[in-house]
Amino acid sequence: MNIIHHGARTGVTGSCHEIRIGNYGLLIDCGLFQGEEGGRLLDIDFPIEHIRALLLTHCHIDHVGRLPWLLAAGFRGPIYATEATAALLPLMLEDGLKIHLGLNKVQCSRFTQLVQQLLKPIPFDCRVELILPSSELVSICFRPAGHILGSAYIELVLPEEGQISHSCGRKVVFSGDLGSSNTPLHVDPQSPEQIDTLVIESTYGNKQHQSVCHRERHLTSLIDRSLKDGGAILIPAFSVGRTQELLFDIENLIAKAMKGISKQVDSTVNWHQLPVILDSPLAMEVTQQYVTFQRLWAKEAKQRVISGRHPLSFEQCVTINQHSDHIALVNRLKATGEPAIVVAASGMCAGGRIMNYLESLLPEPQTDVVMVGYQARGTLGRQLLEQPKSVDINNRRVEVNAAIHSLSGYSAHADQDDLIQFVANIKNGPSQIRIVHGDVAAQEALAQKLAVVKPDCEIIVTASETLD
Ligand SMILES: [Zn+2]
């Protein structure tokens, strides 16, 4: 058995790992390079003739976005993913194809049809056996990772050398992206009982997040203030995961305000009339899938449904689909200055409908912009966090009089403590940990901590590994 990292070895994007079993290989994820790594060639630069299947941990574009290039290189093997990931995948790919490749509707649907034919949706916690041409059996199983809807870590049990069956073979786990603990919508990842080799992400291997309670308090005070002085609250958000967590929290704050049970919420302000606008066709479709897959939600979210609430499709939530409605709304908010919460993509203000809101409303002092996600260098989101006097949007110089806030605690990723806990809770093993999906500093910091909880384990910082 051999593991090769074709992406996400020295950074957080372009996830793509290969596990070699004899003469055959399985790919785990095939993601797009983004941000500082975005300049890398996307053509598949490794042999694929021996690859028997692609296994997807979740549908974020940095884990699935290079799929068009994999198919262009001739891959036609099965694509295994959880049922929810399989449902979200065509939406994510279609959106990505339009943006990155400029494909039209017909070209996009031809491509997604091909992907649908190859997709093999697998329920969580079910074991599936793959038969290699050598007649060897590899068993795979998707376990909840709690990162976004459908996200999984993947357990593989390989055949013992010289044996066909995997009955007592080596167990290898690919973490994919692990979610942070104690979020109300996504379940906490449960560690496997026993592993031999673990390939683990380290996005926040050297950082701790603020607590979920803190994010709720901060959001409440922002909305309170905005209701008093008017103006829009603009929240640039990623369409999958972040948007739904925000909607979920906002619905909860409104419910508390209406019941008058929360001390945090000022009951004199008009919370129950505040429109919450979801202006992103992709986020709308993804949110519908979240509703369809309610059975995968965490306990707290299910509890709210049982008590008769609709955490992701509540009365005050208005969705905007047509582009003309979007333009009309931007103009209306500019003209009236009425309070509203607008959630729109892209999360880093690098395109998407949020750009028109920013262009029109950044000059207004009553506007609040709330950043809830990571803002990469070179993006407008990052620029705004530095509180500039003006910025360039759509080739126009726009004055910034709005208040810019950064709200932490909405990360979909495990922080250092969560990652350590995930490993510490493995009762038996692993004997080897390969740290990926993080910059060198994050990988090294995590390696030091993991060496304490698993002192007998070989820990590899793949970013510093010398390659043959
Ligand atoms: Zn992800």
| Cα-to-centroid distance, 340 and ligand 1 (Å) | 29
Last residue of a domain, one of 406, 432, 447: 406
Number of domains the chain is built from: 2
Average pLDDT over residues 1-30: 92
Alpha-helix residue ranges (DSSP H) falling in 260-353: 281-292, 299-306, 323-336
Q: What is the pLDDT of residue 229?
A: 83
Q: Cα of 177 to ligand 1 centre, how many Å?
A: 5
DSSP state of 372: -
pLDDT-derived band at 164 (thresholds 50, 70, 90) equals low
Q: Say what the pLDDT of residue 11 is.
A: 82
Q: What are 285's two structure tokens?
A: 């479709």
Q: How far is the CA of 262 from the centre of ligand 1 (A)?
A: 33
Q: 232 C-alpha vs ligand 1 centroid, how far in Å?
A: 29
Question: How much is the average pLDDT of 188-193?
Answer: 95
Examine the domain organization and report whether 48 and 174 are in the same domain: yes
More confident call, 271 vs 232? 232
Which of 362, 377, 406 corresponds to the end of one domain? 406
Any idea what DSSP says for residue 160?
Answer: P
Q: Which of 406, 421, 456 is the last residue of a domain?
A: 406
Domain interval for residue 159: 2-207+412-464
Question: What pLDDT, on a 0 to 100 scale, did the predictor assign at position 261?
Answer: 56
Q: Decide if 161 contacts 1 (C-beta within 8 A).
A: no
Between 346 and 233, residue with greater pLDDT: 233
Instruction: Considering only residues 183 and 292, tell me which one the structure prediction assigns the higher pLDDT.
Output: 292
pLDDT of residue 36: 65
The whole-angstrom separation of Cα 20 and Cα 23 is: 7
Region 86-102: what's the mean pLDDT? 83
| Cα–Cα dist 168/161, whole Å | 11
8 Å CB contact between 357 and 232 = yes
pLDDT (0 to 100) of residue 160: 75
Is a pLDDT exceeding 70 seen at residue 257?
yes
Distance CA 436, CA 155 (A): 17
pLDDT band at residue 225 using 50, 70 and 90 as cut-offs:
confident
Closest residue by Cα to residue 108 from 89, 81, 123, 122:
89
Q: Looking at the predicted structure, is the pLDDT value of residue 318 above 80? A: yes
Assess contact for 81 and 119: CB atoms under 8 A.
yes
Contact 49, 42 (CB under 8 A): no
Please list the residues that pair with 459 across neighbouring strands: 433
Please give the distance, rounded to the nearest whole angstrom, from the Cα atom of residue 337 to the centre of ligand 1: 36
Q: How far is the CA of 363 from the centre of ligand 1 (A)?
A: 34
Q: 191 and 264: one domain? A: no
185 and 217 assigned to the same domain: no
Asked whether residue 421 falls in the same domain as residue 393, the answer is no
Handedness of CA 253, 257, 260, 264 (dihedral sign): positive
What is the overall mean pLDDT for the chain?
89
User: Inter-axis angle of helices 242-259 and 212-229, to 10 degrees?
Assistant: 70
Q: Give the Å distance between the CA of 203 and the centre of ligand 1.
A: 10
Rg of the chain taking only CA atoms, in angstroms = 23
Residues 314 and 199 grouped into a single domain? no
C-beta separation of 354 from 361 below 8 A: no
- Decide if pLDDT at 216 tops 90: no
E strands, 222-378, in order: 232-236, 276-278, 317-319, 340-344, 368-371
Looking at the fold, whether 187 and 80 belong to one and the same domain comes out as yes
Given strand 340-344, what is the order of strands in its sheet?
Answer: 317-319, 276-278, 340-344, 232-236, 368-371, 403-406
Q: How many A from CA of 412 to the centre of ligand 1? A: 7
Q: Say yes or no to pLDDT of 265 above 60.
A: no
Rounded to the nearest angstrom, the distance between the alpha carbon of 79 and the centre of ligand 1 is 18
Q: Helices 416-424 & 440-453, crossing angle to 10 degrees?
A: 40
Using the mean position of ligand 1's atoms as its centre, give its distance from the Cα of residue 54 in Å.
Answer: 17
CA of 24 to the centre of ligand 1 (A): 27
62 CA to centre of ligand 1 in angstroms = 7
For residue 430, say if its preceding peptide bond is cis, omega within 30 degrees of 0.
Answer: yes
Measure 57 CA to ligand 1 centroid, in angstroms. Answer: 9
Together in a domain, 370 and 452: no
Indicate if 422 and 400 belong to the same structural domain: no
250 plus 147 within the same structural domain: no
- The pLDDT of residue 165 is 60
| pLDDT tens column, 140-150 | 999 999 999 99
Whether 419 and 363 share a structural domain: no
Percent of the chain residues topping a pLDDT of 90: 61
Helix (H, G, I), strand (E, B) or coil at 200: strand
**Helix boundaries (H) for 45-104:** 61-64, 67-72, 83-96
**Residues contacting residue 236 through CB under 8 Å, at least 6 positions apart:** 344, 345, 346, 347, 348, 349, 352, 354, 369, 371, 372, 373, 381
Cα 63 to ligand 1 centre (Å): 7
Say how many Å lie between the CA of residue 418 and the centre of ligand 1.
15
pLDDT (average), residues 283-292: 93
Residue 116 in this model has a pLDDT that exceeds 90: yes
pLDDT over 70 (residue 35): no
* pLDDT score recorded for residue 126: 97
In the chain, helix, strand, coil percent, each to 5? 35, 20, 45
Q: Where residue 279 sits, what CATH number does that domain have?
A: 3.40.50.10890
255 CA distance to ligand 1 centroid (A)? 30
Q: What is the CATH number of the domain that holds 121?
A: 3.60.15.10
Ligand 1: centre distance to CA 58 (Å): 7
Domain match, 300 and 247 both? yes
pLDDT tens string 415-459:
999 999 999 999 999 999 999 999 899 999 999 999 999 999 999
Same domain, 199 and 227: no
| Least confident range of 263-267, 307-311, 384-388 | 263-267
Does position 267 have pLDDT exceeding 70, yes or no?
Answer: no
pLDDT for the residue 223? 87
For residues 115 and 206, give the distance between their C-alpha atoms in angstroms, rounded to a whole number: 37
Q: Dump the DSSP string for 10-42.
A: SSSSS-EEEEEETTEEEEE--PPP-GGGTTS--
